[in-house]
A = this chain, B = another copy of it.
Amino acid sequence: MTDGSATAFVPGHVTAFFSPELDDDPTKAGARGAGITLSDGVTVRVAPGQGLELDGEPVSVEAVDTVRSALRIEARIEATTKLPLGAGFGVSGALALGTAIAANRAFDLRLSANELVTIAHGAEVRAGTGLGDVVAQAQGGIPIRLEPGAPPHGLLDGVSDRGRVEYITFGELSTEAILDDGTDHLAAAGRRALSWVVDEPTLPTLLRAGRGFARETDLLTDRVYQAIEAVSEAGGEASMAMLGETVVALETGLSEAGFEPSSCAIHQPGAIIEE
């Protein structure tokens, strides 16, 4: 052990579409799908101690507790983010992954990058709060999840592009509740969307495949539907973030449609250690 602290930054991640793949082994379970990682993310500081604070408020996040106990550390975690919780930005996955990466450095745990991703992914899957955010956030960019699960089970590709996005959140959706409703229709629609993006790995196709997935799976709320339509009418590309009442658009798509969104870059590096 050590008396040091360490800080990690993990990008936000909006999933455009997904195909849940269940497995008793949480490192093999996960989701195929694709999404966009965001330069708006979560900064996670880990030091010896107790507790978890998000933006100065004590919170309880099951995936983070699981990571702490898997690593056998007594750690105090202080996280900050601009992103809303429970709205489809992968904040819980970012907390789990950021905790693992920063704890590895703060406590000199000597785990490899893949081991840290595997621990955080397994914790998130067990908690039921996410299926594919952690592996996407570890990679960065515009991840395409070809095979579900943590390394070495999961297989990632990516859209090779950069740019800016806008996002707006109207409310929360519970990943757990939606997955509890059954996953067969999600899996079928997710596989169709994935084959489209594999065939043409571009950002506009990713958003179009996401819109198709949202329609087919009946996950669109009225407010999300209307915002996506408004962006399309203004000539832009938008889709729903899975799973939250959130719309993400390329470039200035939402502001050109009259909304007042947040704006950030597509985050190319993926999760990184900061000083």
Please list the residues of chain A having a beta carbon within 8 angstroms of any beta carbon in chain B: 101, 104-105, 110-116, 140-141, 144, 146, 151-152, 155, 157-162, 198, 200-202, 268-270, 272-274
A269, B112: Cβ atoms closer than 8 Å: no
A160, B270: Cβ atoms closer than 8 Å: no
A270, B273: Cβ atoms closer than 8 Å: no
Question: Could you list 16 further interchain pairs (A-B, Cβ under 8 angstroms) beyond the known A113-B158, A162-B272?
Answer: A110-B200, A110-B201, A111-B160, A112-B144, A112-B158, A112-B159, A112-B198, A113-B141, A113-B157, A114-B158, A140-B269, A151-B157, A152-B155, A162-B274, A268-B269, A269-B272
Find chain B residues with CB under 8 A from A104 CB.
160
A273, B202: Cβ atoms closer than 8 Å: no
Query: How far apart are A275's CB and chain B's nearest CB, in angstroms?
Result: 8
A-B contact pairs, 8 of them (CB 8 A): A105-B160, A105-B161, A112-B157, A113-B201, A151-B155, A162-B272, A268-B272, A268-B273
Find chain B residues with CB under 8 A from A269 CB.
140, 268-270, 272
Q: In the complex, what residue of chain B is closest to A102 when comparing beta carbons?
A: B160
Query: How far apart are A264's CB and chain B's nearest CB, in angstroms?
Result: 16
Stoichiometry, copies per complex: 2
Contact (A161, B112) CB under 8 Å given A152-B155, A155-B152? no
Q: How far is the CA of A150 from the CA of B90 in the complex (A)?
A: 29
B105, A201: Cβ atoms closer than 8 Å: no
Find chain B residues with CB under 8 A from A160 CB.
101, 104-105, 111-113, 116, 273
Find chain B residues with CB under 8 A from A200 CB.
110
Q: How far is the CA of A273 from the CA of B140 in the complex (A)?
A: 13
Query: How far apart are A199's CB and chain B's nearest CB, in angstroms?
Result: 9
A111, B201: Cβ atoms closer than 8 Å: yes
Find chain B residues with CB under 8 A from A111 CB.
160, 201
Q: In the complex, what residue of chain B is closest to A205 when comparing beta carbons?
A: B110
A113, B159: Cβ atoms closer than 8 Å: yes
Q: How far is the CA of A151 from the CA of B158 in the complex (A)?
A: 11
Find chain B residues with CB under 8 A from A158 CB.
112-114
B268, A157: Cβ atoms closer than 8 Å: no
Find chain B residues with CB under 8 A from A114 CB.
157-158
Find chain B residues with CB under 8 A from A110 CB.
200-202
Find chain B residues with CB under 8 A from A202 CB.
110
Find chain B residues with CB under 8 A from A157 CB.
112-115, 151
A110, A116, A198, A202 interface centre (most CB from chain B within 10 Å): A110
Q: In the complex, what residue of chain B is closest to A273 when comparing beta carbons?
A: B162
